[in-house]
Amino acid sequence: MVKETGDVCLIDFGLVMEYRNAEGTHKTLHRYGFQGTPSFGSIHGLEGYTLSRRDDLESLGYSILRVIDPDNFPWGTMTT
C-alpha cells in the first residue's frame, strides 16, 4: 500500500545512452544486439538496432498497456 506523501517515484530502466554525438548530430544507426526486457522492448530494439527516443516512447506505451490490462497484454506470456 502506498501512502499519500506527495513523493514522486522514478523508474530507472538502466539503458541510458546519448542520442547525439559530439558534433550535435544524431548518432548513426548500428546493430548492437537487444538489451532489456523483451516484453517491453520496441520493435526496433528487438531487431538489435541502436535505441532512440522513439523506442523509449514505444516501450512506455507497452508498459502502460501492461498496467491498464495485465490479463490481456498480448505477449505477456513471452519468456526471456
Sign of the C-alpha dihedral, residues 27, 33, 35, 39? positive
Backbone angles phi and psi of 59, in degrees to 5? -65, -40
CB 52 within 8 Å of CB 32 = no
Pairwise CA distance, residues 38 & 80, whole Å: 6
Element (H, E) at 60: helix 53-68
Q: Do the beta carbons of residue 37 and residue 15 sit within 8 Å?
A: no
Q: pLDDT tens, 57-69?
A: 998 898 888 888 8
State the average pLDDT over residues 10-29. 71
| Residues 32-55, mean pLDDT to the nearest whole number | 84
pLDDT of residue 45: 87
CB atoms within 10 A of CB 55: 19
Residue 80 predicted with pLDDT over 60: no
pLDDT of residue 32: 78
